[in-house]
Chain A
Amino acid sequence: MDVKQMIMPLLSHGIKELMLKVKDDDFAGFQEIRLRVNRPLVVNSMGQFYCLDPHGYLTLNEKAGFVVTAEAMQESIELMSDYSMYAYEEELRSGYITVRGGHRIGMAGKTILEDGHVKSIRHISCVNIRIAHEIPGCADLVMPFIKQDDHIHHTLIVSPPGKGKTTLLRDVIRQLSNKDQINVAVVDERSEIAACFKGVPQLDIGLKTDVLDGCPKAEGMMMLLRAMGPQVIAVDEIGSPEDIKAIEHIVVGGVKLICTVHGDSYEDLLEKPRMKELIEKDIFKRLIFLGSDETTGKIVSVKSGKGRELYMKEGKTYVY
């Protein structure tokens, strides 16, 4: 099933008719579809925001854009939640739901608070459908650094938000699982890596990969270590004291780790006390840095745990 076929059932009748007029080539470039009540529908195509005119053509003229009505929004939300918003109660507290195909739908409206925490969102008036894209092969460049002969290094992927670390992590997992026949266990706290829908991974994360979906990272890592006998454990966005404790426990257990963290340089990591502790203990033997400029997924540097440069690509960029 292609992306368009997966997105269509999430949209109201009117919006669906509009999307059907969009050329397949244009649709293939969509990264986001943004719906806002009484405002034009906006799509993010290759990093550029466009409206769609009533004939399905991309336009920069907002006045010519197709306007989303409150009814269309209501219908779309019912379809996105499978007519069962209550079933997404937990996810909605984080502001998004994940649907079949691994696409993430961010929602905003009137929040309902309980004891100072977000309990739910009602009167949803803004929706952002973030279309999941897999980039098979995007980890080709870094795999020789992660796996040398039969040895896998504890690896930390470092990048600013939105620069492709999860996509890179997913491909590393897939390659370890499929090419190297390694049992990988993934703690996917925010359903970003495997994009599970009802527990089933929607993205290709390899044949020998087990996923614990929606589980807090520290608890999940310990559960997988005890229950699934993994050779590698992969998690996204580590940083809490509990995560660090679990990581130290796993390393002692002989299981390899592939993790990601927010950051933009080796020096930046050293400024974060918990990351500094891990680096000083020389737990991670490979640090992979993604660039912070406009290009998503540019691998700029691979360092050893002690900060020695192993790879640096200048001039040419490695883009996915």
Chain B
Amino acid sequence: MFIKTLSMILIFASSSMLGLYLSRLDEYRLKELLMVKKMAMMLASEIEYSSSLVNAFTHISERLEGAISLLIMDVAVELSKRKGNTFMSIWKKNCEHYSRNTYLTPVDWQYIQDFGKNLGYLDKHMQHKNISMFIHYLDDSIQKINSQKDSNKRMYRSLGVLIGILIIIILI
């Protein structure tokens, strides 16, 4: 009886915890999207003052945290080695590496990769246009998360608890 009760408590706790974790995914993604937006805005300022991408990424990575900070730091290091690879190939390789360690979606990463396609190319006007298009996408995503996150949060929490109860009922 004791073992059965303990098992039911464990199932209920695990299910609720899973629901809690899923309810927070939007928040984690939101936090990372905000970090990406911060990076893009800082990059716009650096470009305005004609910093090279290596210098810009180095400065910005010091003021950010998490995977985005590591991503641009690694890109800066690789660029400064001047091994002859194109910026796009370096950016893409690092995006693919860091996409595994974040809460951002594959679509978010696709946009980040596309953002890199025009970085460094042509003049400042072109750079600012590229950055503002990217920020536009980020703002849309952030807005969408903000409008859905509370209802998603409630839904996942409730689902976690309810699924736990359902499993217990089936087992009984």
Give bound CA distance, A86 to B119, whole Å: 9
| With contact pairs A9-B82, A75-B84, A75-B86 given, residues A87 and B51 touching in the complex (Cβ less than 8 Å) | yes
Number of interface residues of B (CB under 8 A): 22
What B residues does A82 contact at CB under 8 A? 52-54, 79
Beta-carbon contacts of B116-157 to A below 8 Å, as 1s and 0s? Answer: 000111111011000000000000000000000000000000
Give bound CA distance, A120 to B82, whole Å: 25
Give bound CA distance, A75 to B51, whole Å: 20
Whether B120 pairs with A81 at a CB distance below 8 angstroms is yes
Task: Enumerate B23-69 residues with CB–CB distance to A below 8 Å.
Answer: 47, 50-54, 56
Grouping DSSP codes into helix (H, G, I), strand (E, B) and loop, the B interface class, with mixed when no group exceeds half, is: loop
Task: Enumerate A58-95 residues with CB–CB distance to B below 8 Å.
Answer: 74-75, 78-79, 81-87, 89, 92
Chain A: interface residue count, which band? Answer: 20 to 34
B103 at the interface (CB under 8 A from A): no
**Which of A9, A13, A85 touches B120 (beta carbons < 8 Å)?**
A85
Whether A87 pairs with B50 at a CB distance below 8 angstroms is yes
**Which of A12, A84, A86, A122 touches B84 (beta carbons < 8 Å)?**
A12
Give bound CA distance, A175 to B126, whole Å: 45
Whether A89 pairs with B124 at a CB distance below 8 angstroms is yes
Give bound CA distance, A87 to B55, whole Å: 11
A39 at the interface (CB under 8 A from B): no
A208 at the interface (CB under 8 A from B): no
Chain B residue, CB-CB nearest to A12: B84
B4 at the interface (CB under 8 A from A): no
Beta-carbon contacts of A207-223 to B below 8 Å, as 1s and 0s? Answer: 00000000000000000
What A residues does B119 contact at CB under 8 A? 83
Whether B82 pairs with A86 at a CB distance below 8 angstroms is no
Task: Enumerate B105-123 residues with CB–CB distance to A below 8 Å.
Answer: 119-123
What A residues does B50 contact at CB under 8 A? 84, 86-87, 89
Whether B123 pairs with A84 at a CB distance below 8 angstroms is no
Whether A87 pairs with B52 at a CB distance below 8 angstroms is yes
Interface core residue of B54, B84, B87, B120 (most chain A CB under 10 Å):
B84
**Which of B53, B122, B124 touches A83 (beta carbons < 8 Å)?**
B53
Whether B86 pairs with A13 at a CB distance below 8 angstroms is no
Grouping DSSP codes into helix (H, G, I), strand (E, B) and loop, the A interface class, with mixed when no group exceeds half, is: helix
| With contact pairs A84-B52, A86-B127 given, residues A79 and B82 touching in the complex (Cβ less than 8 Å) | yes
Whether A83 pairs with B123 at a CB distance below 8 angstroms is no
Chain B residue, CB-CB nearest to A82: B52
Whether A13 pairs with B84 at a CB distance below 8 angstroms is yes
Give bound CA distance, A79 to B52, whole Å: 11
B97 at the interface (CB under 8 A from A): no
Q: How far is the CB of B114 from chain A (nearest CB, A)?
A: 17
Beta-carbon contacts of A128-168 to B below 8 Å, as 1s and 0s? Answer: 00000000000000000000000000000000000000000
Interface residues of A (CB under 8 A from B): 9, 11-13, 16, 74-75, 78-79, 81-87, 89, 92, 119-120, 122
Interface residues of B (CB under 8 A from A): 47, 50-54, 56, 79, 82-87, 119-124, 126-127
A sample of 11 inter-chain contacts (CB < 8 A) reads A13-B83, A75-B85, A78-B87, A83-B54, A83-B79, A84-B51, A85-B122, A85-B123, A86-B47, A86-B120, A89-B50
Q: A79-B84, A83-B120 are in contact. List 13 more A-B contacts (CB 8 A).
A: A9-B82, A11-B84, A13-B84, A78-B87, A82-B54, A83-B53, A83-B79, A85-B121, A86-B47, A86-B50, A86-B124, A87-B51, A92-B123
